[in-house]
A and B are shown apart, each in its own frame.
Chain A
């Protein structure tokens, strides 16, 4: 649920309570993107923390020219990608297959066991940029225009990127089926 402009203004003045409300409104969004991008719970926790600290550090620069939610998406995308790059440079980056299975396992008993863990494995097979584009489009349900703004890309580049990402995903699915 979007937060009112009043709350954003209060947070810009350093009101901790307003910051807490912004946190509550966007934690699911930030957590979903962090976890699906990093595919690792520990990394996702650190990345999500960095996202919120960045949001509150930069909130005074938000000028209400775009929606606050799109602005949050943009910071989330950039921060999580930067986090992954930083961790890769530090060589602490890994995708743990067993943890992936535990953390992405669909818990409902009636689910087809073959589908269990499919999400994590499919996402793990994609390149970082492809994964991000698919998360924003298919999971977050964003428009191409909003994705372009959030990812800092042209609409044409977003469409091409999503087309390629879907192709990679389809191939990954096909090889899993085989």
Chain B
């Protein structure tokens, strides 16, 4: 942590070459006489050269392959979407038009549902209450009183 006269920040500035003028001269003179600062400077320089020295293995080729394959895939999906989006939009417009046209006939859907319900009553449920032997449970109603 420095010798007391100078702290390590000066050593940092010295390493970065940011110490200039009379301050630099004074610090250089101090380094000649101060074993603590000289020792710390040497340790730091050796440590920094230690992390610079490593020879790294080259980047594996599979990174390029992985990246380029993914890009090609994304591009293909984007193209598909590019084609699908107008089609989906057209379908949505058609559906919206159909719904809005049908809304102009308020009784249309209700009439249709009522017809279907009446049909069911007529075919399947009409005799349920007349015959005590028949199954009156929900399952029975659904099965329409058929023997099982």
Residues of B within 8 A of A (CB): 8-9, 12, 15, 40, 43-44, 46-48, 50-60, 62-64, 66-68, 70-72, 75
How far, in whole Å, are A131 and B94 apart by their CA atoms in the complex?
59
**A148 an interface residue at 8 Å Cβ cutoff?**
no
Contact of B51 among A30, A31, A134 (CB under 8 A): A134
Is there contact, CB below 8 Å, between B40 and A115?
no
Q: A27-B63, A31-B63, A170-B43 are in contact. Are A16 and B50 (CB under 8 A)?
A: no
Contact status A49-B66, CB under 8 Å: yes
CA distance A56 to B73 in the complex (A): 13
* Most central of B8, B15, B51, B56 by chain A CB within 10 Å: B51
A side interface size, CB within 8 A: 44
Which chain B residue shows the least CB distance to A52? B67
**Which residues of chain A have a CB within 8 Å of any CB of chain B?**
14, 16, 19-20, 23, 27-28, 30-32, 35-36, 41, 45, 48-49, 52-53, 56, 103-104, 106-108, 111, 115, 118-120, 122-123, 134, 138-139, 162-163, 166-167, 169-170, 172-174, 177
Q: Shortest CB–CB separation between residue B53 and chain A, in angstroms?
A: 6
CB pair B54 A169 closer than 8 Å: no
A139 pairs with B52, CB closer than 8 A: yes
Among B15, B43, B58, B71: residue with most chain A CB under 10 A = B71
A-B contact pairs, 29 of them (CB 8 A): A16-B68, A16-B71, A19-B68, A20-B68, A23-B67, A27-B63, A31-B56, A35-B56, A35-B57, A41-B57, A48-B59, A49-B63, A49-B66, A53-B67, A103-B57, A104-B56, A106-B53, A115-B50, A119-B52, A122-B50, A134-B51, A139-B51, A163-B9, A166-B15, A166-B48, A167-B8, A169-B44, A173-B43, A177-B43
